[in-house]
Amino acid sequence: MDRRPESSNGRFELFYRKGWAYLAVYPPAGAGRPVYPEDIENRMRMLGVPHAYTVSIRELIEEASGKPVALVEWPNGQALASMIAVNIAKDGMSVTATISPPRKGAAAPTPADVMDALADAGVCYGIDQDYIRRMLGQAAYGKPLLVAAGTEPVPGQPRHVVHYFNANRGRPYLEMDFGRINLKELNFIENKRSGDLLAELAAPVAAVDGRKVTGEPIVAPTAPQGAPLLAGPNTSLSPDGARLFAACDGNVRIAKGTILIEPVISVKNVDFSTGNIRFDGSVIIEGSIADGFVVEAGGDIQVGSRVGKATLKAGGSIVLKTGINGNGKGVIECGGDLFAKYVESCTVTCHANVLVEEAIMHSHVVAYNHCVLGGRRSEVIASELIVGGSFWCKKLGNFNEPITRLTVGVPPEIVMECRTTAAAIEHRQEALDKAMLQLEQLEKLDREGRADERVIQAQAHLVETVEKLRPELAELRGRYPALRDRVAASRHSIVVVEETMYKGVTVSFGQLEYRGAAAGIRKIVLKARDGLVIESAFNYRERPVLTFDAPSADADKPADPVA
């Protein structure tokens, strides 16, 4: 068997690196041809390498170590070398390097070349050398490479309260994608026993400074002191003020940032067997509320079955797991959210979000934040709604064209004050006109000599009435323009109708009005911009997003509209 080594010719590499021409010579194998000086000199002439002594070349050929050796200075070889462009982001938090491919006759760039270019640009921090080596190994030329990144500062975190109960029980509903929800599973009452840990203060987190790629430090903001743990009624603080416990059995909730335990009463029904209920805590009604009865609670109210011509008032939220048909006499007032399957023939004032599953019909609804209908029907029929935030439903109005009015994007108290003032102006003007007409008739009797004592007394009474009405009317008219100017809709508020807005619907963004077309409108989104109501099509895949605040954490304070 022939074991002679395979023959191969000798070879050499001639290339530019950092101002010099380098030469590396490799020996032949077996009967291969060696490298001759003429081979190297011809390559030098072709590349424009300056003349080198032949003796030096012969020595390198004889040594044939394969190691690159600086042969001769070659300043002009720079034109063949790879260029490294370094770009530092304006914020000093990242660096990209774009490496051009080397031309024939120049060595491939090395990690050291990239490091030198970064150093020349002032980059000294956050350099990813492993990434640089990997990209050079892949010959990733001509594209920006993220070679260095700074460290973002980490702001200090103040001490904060960790709750050991559900601090926002409406959140599963508020975060839904406006799909179906089972109101029967929505529970606003969370009972705790005496001695249970309700909350504690977590330790603050120290700030950590950041650093730019140039080494410049970025000072992280220090944390504020943070809110204390506020103990409400029926709770007790640990001696160090860091832990809060229940002092009695009851429902835990948050009011104005204060954690409290409130007593809970639970009844089967509200009727003649119980009478009206007025209670400082929360009330659970497993069944129904009979017509004409009143339930008032400082906390939440939950009703498991039908509600008729009743009055419900809660400092917190109200959950109607079926709904209410008030027959024109139902009243609901709550400081938190209202959750209901349907609302019919009822007057509602809600200082947070009104969240109805199926329908609002023949009702007057005031919602200080959003009003959202999220069930299969999701329709509003023959109702008047004043919504401080945004409004969302599937059907607005009805094909029978009953009047439906929606005012959106303005704090309800401003809308109602403006309307009340306008009504007062109209009422007093009518009264003044009537008094002036009657006074004119009595003065005519006086001129004709037919006035008796009764006429004179009536005339004096009418003069007194006119003198009273005129300044009142002047004061109202003087105040009304400023009120009207305040009725301006928020740019964040929107109206979304997923399916149909019928004829007979009026949507008001402050002083701007939008009326449904005679044929109705399909799939529409409305918003107020620069004195106009802007229409756009509703696309389920690109639907708007509403941001719900947490009214239950501050149940006694009206919620601001946001979207």
Last residue of a domain, one of 227, 260, 293: 260
Specify the number of domains making up the chain. Answer: 5
User: Is 283 domain-assigned?
Assistant: no
Q: Is a pLDDT exceeding 50 seen at residue 198?
A: yes
One domain, residues 85 and 143: yes
- Given pLDDT bands bounded at 50, 70 and 90, which one contains residue 382? very high
Residue 59 placed within a domain: yes
Q: Is 291 inside a domain boundary? A: no
Indicate the pLDDT class of residue 26, thresholds 50, 70 and 90: very high
Please check whether residue 319 lies inside any domain of the structure.
no
444 and 393 housed in the same domain: no
Residues 515 and 406 in one domain: yes
Question: Taking all residues of the chain, what is their mean pLDDT, rounded to a whole number?
Answer: 87
Half-sphere exposure of 58 (CA within 13 A, CB side): 3
> 17 - beta bridge partners?
20
Three-state SS for 116?
Answer: helix
Residue type, 562: V
The arithmetic mean of pLDDT across residues 222-228, rounded, is: 79
Whether residues 138 and 164 fall in one domain: no
Give the domain-ending residue among 43, 78, 113. Answer: 78
Terminal-residue alpha carbon distance, the chain: 86
Q: What is the pLDDT of residue 2?
A: 52
Do residues 369 and 501 both lie within one domain?
yes
Q: Which domain holds residue 378?
A: 335-410+490-554
Q: How far apart are CA 167 and CA 253, in angstroms?
A: 7
Q: Which of 239, 264, 135 is nearest to 187 (CA)?
A: 264
pLDDT mean over 397-403: 83
Kindly give, in sequence order, each residue whose CB lies less than 8 Å from that of residue 523, ignoring residues fewer than 6 positions away: 497, 498, 499, 537, 538, 539
Return the pLDDT at 561: 35
> What is the distance between the alpha carbons of residues 557 and 551, in angstroms, rounded to a whole number?
8
Which tens digits make up the pLDDT trace of 56-109? 888 888 888 889 999 889 988 888 888 889 999 999 999 999 999 988 888 888
Q: Are residues 549 and 516 in contact, defined by beta-carbon separation less than 8 angstroms?
A: no
Residue 288 pLDDT exceeds 90: yes
pLDDT score recorded for residue 563? 35
Q: Give 441-463 pLDDT, tens digit per residue.
A: 888 887 877 778 887 888 888 88
DSSP string for residues in 352-406: S-EEEEEEEES-EEEESS-EEE-SSS-EEES-EEEESS-EEEEEES-TT---EEE
- How do beta strands 144-149 and 338-350 pair? unpaired
258-262 and 250-255 beta bridge pairing: antiparallel
Residue 321 within any structural domain of the chain = no
- Verify that 144 and 191 share a domain, yes or no: no
d(CA 555, CA 259): 12
The string of pLDDT tens digits covering residues 467-510 is 999 999 999 898 888 888 888 888 889 999 999 999 889 999 98
- 211: tokens are 């650093």
Same domain, 92 and 217: no
In tens, the pLDDT along 512-535 reads 999 878 788 999 999 998 889 999
Local confidence band at 5 (pLDDT 50, 70, 90 cut-offs): low
Is 132 a member of any domain? yes
> How large a percentage of the chain has pLDDT more than 70?
93
Which tokens go with 198? 């309700």
